[in-house]
């Protein structure tokens, strides 16, 4: 991995976590990371919004930062139940995930929606983690690369740079299933994304492209060693420090 791409190991807690247990977990993670004298990667936890402020405070002074899992494209207003990037930032978030496949599937989010959300993230000075990934049906139909190209091209925020935008490739069929693509498949898709980005932005070679989908301690080293894989977006295995640390430890 070129020195200019500092890996990012990000945990996405999804709709999991109550205050007491979550604080114990982030403190445990922060303590482990703090023992590393010069961390070689960024470490992020994206908890439910209800926990952001407490977790951000608990991680202060450690290499661990926190981020949001989703946001509204608007800055404020009559959007019951939604959360703005300014609110996430106010609670201590440095990043925000947009376009996770669960948002695309459960809430019908289109590439256009994802792009608007990512632009809202950039407007507040946070880093957008833009998720892309094919479904099993798309993979079986042989359309993986064209689906990914379409998502990258149409979800990428205007003004995207390697500093403010991260791409996460997450095959939908690999999320939470224990299944992962072969190393060759991951390499092919990541190289394809890199080449797509090259046509869309000036510093494409410095953009971090994460792999996500059933990453765990036992497969992290193999996946992180793949060319153009610059970190991981981890769901289930990020919920406890004990499970997440072996993944972080591959890069830190």
Residues that bind ligand PGA (CB under 6 A): 12, 170, 175-176, 212-215, 233-237
Identify whether 170 is a catalytic site residue: yes
Q: How far is CA 120 from CA 81, 160, 163, 164, in A?
A: 17, 12, 15, 12
What is d(CA 238, CA 215) in angstroms, rounded to the nearest whole number? Answer: 9
Nearer to ligand PGA, 88 or 97 (CB): 97
The single residue of 100, 102, 134, 192 carrying the catalytic annotation is 100
Q: In the bound complex, what is the minimum distance in angstroms from residue 235's beta carbon to ligand PGA?
A: 2
Identify whether 107 is a catalytic site residue: no
The angle formed by the CA atoms of residues 171, 162 and 104, to the nearest 5 degrees, is 30
What is d(CA 128, CA 98) in angstroms, rounded to the nearest whole number? Answer: 7
Q: In the bound complex, what is the minimum distance in angstroms from residue 180's beta carbon to ligand PGA?
A: 9
Nearer to ligand PGA, 99 or 213 (CB): 213
Residue 1's nearest CA partner among 203, 205, 202, 164 is: 205
Residue 71's nearest CA partner among 105, 107, 26, 44 is: 107
Nearer to ligand PGA, 33 or 220 (CB): 220
Q: In the bound complex, what is the minimum distance in angstroms from residue 78's beta carbon to ligand PGA?
A: 30
The single residue of 109, 119, 170, 192 carrying the catalytic annotation is 170
Catalytic annotation, residues: 100, 170
């Amino acid at each position: 991995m070129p020195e200019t791409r500092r890996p990012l190991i990000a945990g996405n807690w999804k709709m999991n976590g109550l205050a007491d247990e979550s604080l114990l977990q982030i403190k445990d993670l922060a303590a482990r990371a703090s023992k590393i004298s010069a961390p070689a990667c960024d470490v992020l936890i994206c908890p439910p919004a209800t926990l952001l402020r407490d977790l951000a405070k608990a991680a202060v002074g450690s290499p661990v930062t926190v981020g949001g899992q989703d946001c509204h494209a608007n800055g404020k207003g009559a959007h019951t139940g939604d959360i703005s990037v300014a609110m996430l930032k106010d609670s201590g978030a440095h990043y925000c995930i947009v376009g996770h496949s669960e948002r695309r599937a459960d809430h019908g989010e289109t590439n256009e929606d994802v792009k608007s959300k990512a632009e809202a993230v950039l407007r507040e000075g946070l880093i957008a983690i833009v998720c892309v990934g094919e479904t099993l049906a798309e993979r079986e139909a042989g359309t993986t690369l064209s689906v990914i190209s379409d998502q990258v091209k149409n979800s990428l925020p205007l003004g995207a740079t390697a500093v403010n935008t991260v791409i996460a490739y997450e095959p939908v069929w690999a999320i939470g299933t224990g299944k992962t693509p072969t190393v060759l498949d991951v390499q092919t898709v990541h190289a394809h994304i890199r080449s797509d980005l090259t046509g869309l932005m000036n510093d494409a070679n410095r953009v971090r492209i994460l792999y996500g989908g059933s990453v765990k301690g036992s497969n992290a080293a193999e996946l992180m060693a793949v060319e153009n894989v610059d970190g991981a977006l981890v769901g289930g295995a990020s919920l406890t420090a004990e499970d997440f640390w072996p993944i972080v430890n591959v890069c830190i």
